[in-house]
Structure 1
C-alpha cells in the first residue's frame, strides 16, 4: 500500500538573539507597541469601543385628560367660533363661543391594562349661513413611562386643517408619538413636565393664544406630537347639520432612549470584540514586518538554528 503524507513540520527553527538593551530589543518593543496600542486607538476613535446609548421598547400609559381647545375658522366676518373645556377661556369669547357636543372613548384593544387608542368626536352646531373653512384643536393627555425610565408628563396633540372649500367634517387618524430632544434618566422619578399644557385658570387672553401655547410646549425637551394624521376634509354639509371633527389617536409602542451607564465587565463585554477584530489585522501585518526585519538583519542579532530530528535519525540514536 502506498504511503500518504499525514503531517508536516518545518525542518529547522531559527532563533534571533541579542542583548536586552540592544537596538534589536528596543526595535522589537516598538513593534509590539505598534501592534497592540493602535487597534485600541482606532476602536476608541471610531466611537464604538463601548456603548453610551441604550434603547428599549415600551407601551406608554396614556390617558386622555378630557381637556380640549377648539378654534373654527368660518367664512363669516369676525373670524370664527371657539370653545374649550376651560371656563375662563369661554368667558373671553363672547359671541364667538359655540358649545359643541363631544363624545370620547378610549380603547384597550389587546387587554393589557393600557389604553391603545382614543376615539374623539366633536359636533359643532352651526347656523344655516355659517360655513367652516378650517379647524384647530388641542387635546391634552397624561403620559407615563415605567419600565426603565420612570417619567410622567402632561402632553398634547395638536391638529389643524384649512381649506378654501367649506367642509362638513374633518377626519383625522394618527399616532401620538413621543419626541425626545434629550435622553431620559433611567433612575428616579422625572416629573419636570407634569404641568398643564394650557393654564386653564388664567383670566388673560394671551395664555390661550395658540402661538404662545405651542411655543411654550416646544421649549420642552420631551413632547408628544400627532404623527401622520392623514386628514380627510369632507364637503357638502346640510343646512342644519353640525360641523364634525372625528379623530382616532393611537398610542403606539415607543423606542425610549436613555444613557447607558455600564459596569466594568459589561463594558468589557462590548469593547473587547471591537478591539480584537482590529488587533487581528495588526498582528498579521506586524508578524510579516518582524520576519522581514530579523531575517534580513535590519536589526543586528545572532541567529541560532536548531535542526529538527527526523524519525529515522531518532531511531538510529536509540
Structure 2
C-alpha cells in the first residue's frame, strides 16, 4: 500500500474543484481536486512548500498516461495539521487513476484541509512494472567456432547403412569400415568490423562411391559462446543440423541463426562458467558417449543452450557418379535479448 497526502483546498480556504484543474481534467487520469501545474502556480503554489509543489506538478503531468488498471480511493480526512507530502516514492503513472470515475461520481470529495489516499490495485494485465523481478538487455555474443565436428550420413534404411566422421579420434576408431573422411572448409566473418564475428561459412565435401547415395545427414558443430555486458558468461554450445529425404541428394544448403535459449535467468554480475564444458566427451572410449540421442539429451538438460534456428534447408538432387556429397551451411550470430534478475536490496 502506498500512501499519498495532498492538500485539496485552493486559495481563500476553499477546495479546488474541477474548475481549478481546468477543462478536460476529468477522464485524463487526474486525481480529483488536483490542479494542473499551470493552475497550481497561480492559485495553490503560495500554500504549498517547494517540495510539495514539485510532487504535485509531477503528478499532474501524468494525466495522459494514468488511470489504467488502478484507482485512488479516499480513506478519510485529516484536519488541523500542516499540509505536507508523504515519503518521497516513485509512483508508476499506471497507478494513478481517476477517483471520481472509479466511484462513479462527477464531483470531487469535499473537505476543508486535506485527504489521505490509498492506491489500490485491480486485476489488469496491462498495468505492469511495479514489482519487477527481472529485466533484459541486448548484447551480441562473442561466438567462435571450435573446429569440432561430428558428422553422420545415412545411405539407406538399414541400421548399418551410414558413413561417419568426427574430429574426435576415439569416435573415429569406433567406426571401423564406416569411417569416411570428408574435406572441410570454414570461414568466420566480421561483417561490421566491430571485433566480433557475425557468421560462419561451413562447407563439407563427402566423397562417395558410385553406388552410394545420401538420403539423410546429421551434423554437430561446437562453439564457444561468451557474454560480457552484465555477468561474464562462458559456455560451450552446439548447432545441430539434421535433414532427411526419400530422394537421394547431391547437396544440402542451410542458412540460419545460432539463437540463445534461456530457461533460467543469467546472473547480473560475476563469472558464470557452469556450462563451460564440452558438449561431446571426445576422450571417452565408449560408443554410448557418441550416440546422438545421448548427446542431445544431455545438452538439453542445461538451462542455457544455443539452437540452430530457421535453417531453411535446400535439398538438391542429381549427383554425378564421381561427385562428392556437399553440405553448405551459413550460421549467423545475432544480437540476443538476455534476461537477468533485478538486484534486490
TM-score (norm 1): 0.71
Aligned 8 A contact 1:75 1:130 in 2: no
Q: Note if 1:120 corresponds to 2:202.
A: yes
Deviations 1:141-167 (A, max 9, x none): 000000112100000000100000000
Secondary structure, counterpart of 2:274 in structure 1: coil
Q: Which residue of 2 aligns with 1:272?
A: none
Give the direction of change, closer, same or farther, for the CA distance of 1:76–1:257 in structure 2 (3 Å limit).
closer
Deviations 1:22-66 (A, max 9, x none): xxxx9646x99x9623x2444999653132221111111000000
Q: Note if 1:103 corresponds to 2:185.
A: yes
Larger radius of gyration: 1
Q: Which residue of 2 aligns with 1:217?
A: 299
Distance in 2 (alpha carbons) for counterparts of 1:215 and 1:177: 18
Q: Note if 1:168 corresponds to 2:230.
A: no
Q: Which residue of 2 aligns with 1:66?
A: 147
Deviation at 1:122, TM superposition (A): 0.3
Give the direction of change, closer, same or farther, for the CA distance of 1:11–1:219 in structure 2 (3 Å limit).
closer
Q: Which residue of 1 aligns with 2:268?
A: 186
- Structure 2 unaligned regions, length at least 5: 1-9, 16-74, 79-108
Distance in 2 (alpha carbons) for counterparts of 1:12 and 1:75: 94
Aligned 8 A contact 1:76 1:130 in 2: no
Distance in 1 (alpha carbons) for counterparts of 2:205 and 2:199: 20
Distance in 1 (alpha carbons) for counterparts of 2:116 and 2:329: 63
Distance in 2 (alpha carbons) for counterparts of 1:188 and 1:12: 58
What root-mean-square deviation, in Å, do the aligned CA atoms of Structure 1 and Structure 2 show?
Answer: 2.8
Q: Note if 1:141 corresponds to 2:232.
A: no
Q: Which has the higher contact order (CA 8 A, sep 6+)?
A: 1
Within 5 Å, give how 1:1-80 maps onto structure 2. Answer: 28=77, 36-37=117-118, 39-42=119-122, 48-75=129-156, 77=158, 78-80=160-162
Distance in 2 (alpha carbons) for counterparts of 1:10 and 1:75: 92
Secondary structure, counterpart of 2:136 in structure 1: strand
Q: Which residue of 1 aligns with 2:290?
A: 208
**Alignment size in residue pairs:** 242
Distance in 2 (alpha carbons) for counterparts of 1:234 and 1:116: 27
Deviation at 1:198, TM superposition (A): 0.1
Distance in 2 (alpha carbons) for counterparts of 1:12 and 1:178: 63
Aligned 8 A contact 2:76 2:116 in 1: no
From the two aligned structures, give the one with the greater helix fraction: 1
Aligned 8 A contact 2:268 2:343 in 1: no
Distance in 2 (alpha carbons) for counterparts of 1:99 and 1:58: 38
